Structure formats: C-alpha cells, structure tokens
Amino acid sequence: MKTIHTNAKHTEWLSADEMHFESKKWLSELEFCKEEQWFFEDLIRSYTLQILDNNHFEESKRLIDKLTKIVEQTQTLINAVKSHEKELSIMVDGIDQIKEETAYKKEHRNLTELVEEFRKRYRTTKTKLFNLIKMVMKEGKQNRLLDKK
C-alpha cells in the first residue's frame, strides 16, 4: 500500500491508553469495512448480468479489481493492528525500554497514516460501486417498464 509520509509527531504525546483506544477504533472500523465488503460482493453477484453488460463492463471490471485489492488490504491492516495491539505491553510494563517504546510509537504513527489512506481509498471505491449499482438498477427498471408497454 502506498502512503504519503508526513512528519507528524502527535504520537510522541499520546499515552498508552490513547494509543490503545485509537487501535481499538481502527480495528472496529476495519471489521465493519470487512462486513461491508461482503455486502458489496453479494450485491455484485445479484447484478452480475447487468454489470457485465457491454455498457458497464470496463468500469465494473476496474471497480471489482479495486474491491478485490481493498479486501486484501483490509485483512492486512486488521492483522497489523491486532499485532500492534499485542505489543502495547511495551508501553505499560513499567520498564524503561526507550528503543522499543520509540519503535512502537513510530509503528503507531505509520499505522495512523496507513489507516487514513485506506479510509480515503475505500470511501472513493465504495461511492463508485454504489453509483454503478444504482445506475444498473435504474436501467433495469427502465427496461422492465419499456417491456410492459
């Protein structure tokens, strides 16, 4: 996954509780995205014939490929956040481990950037998918109305 790296230093001041809360929030959002992706896959299956129509083939193929990549990225991020959560003990064990704590904060900062970039890509792809399905549904209704006449 590509990210735009910034020199954000906000994690320097985050407490272990705040990082834990942020990680739990990410995990919850990612799990929701995963459920939503199953919904998209079902929706695509329901309208497969209409989506594969010549008028929509190229766009739908591109969007389905993006969805496939996003599904993989979602699972990768879920695994990374879970792993990050397990390592939180470094921050709260009461032992000064400067290198490990600094590395943990750096990883947290990187995950912050990754999750934010993922959100942007996911939102864009989701909007395009909904627009495609909406267009296909409208065309299907119009065709049924024309057939009844």
Query: Averaged over 46-56, what is the pLDDT?
Result: 78
For the cut 60, the answer to whether the pLDDT of residue 55 exceeds it is yes
Residue range 84-136, pLDDT digits in tens: 988 887 777 777 778 888 888 899 999 999 999 999 999 999 999 999 888 88
Do 20 and 85 touch, CB atoms closer than 8 A? yes
Rounded to 10 degrees, the C-alpha dihedral 54/60/65/66 comes to 160
Token pair for residue 109? 């900062």
Rounded to 10 degrees, the C-alpha dihedral 12/16/19/25 comes to -170
- pLDDT value, residue 66: 92
Cα 85 to its chain centre, rounded Å, is: 18
In angstroms, rounded to a whole number, what is the distance separating the alpha carbons of residues 139 and 149?
16
Residue range 139-148, pLDDT digits in tens: 877 766 666 6
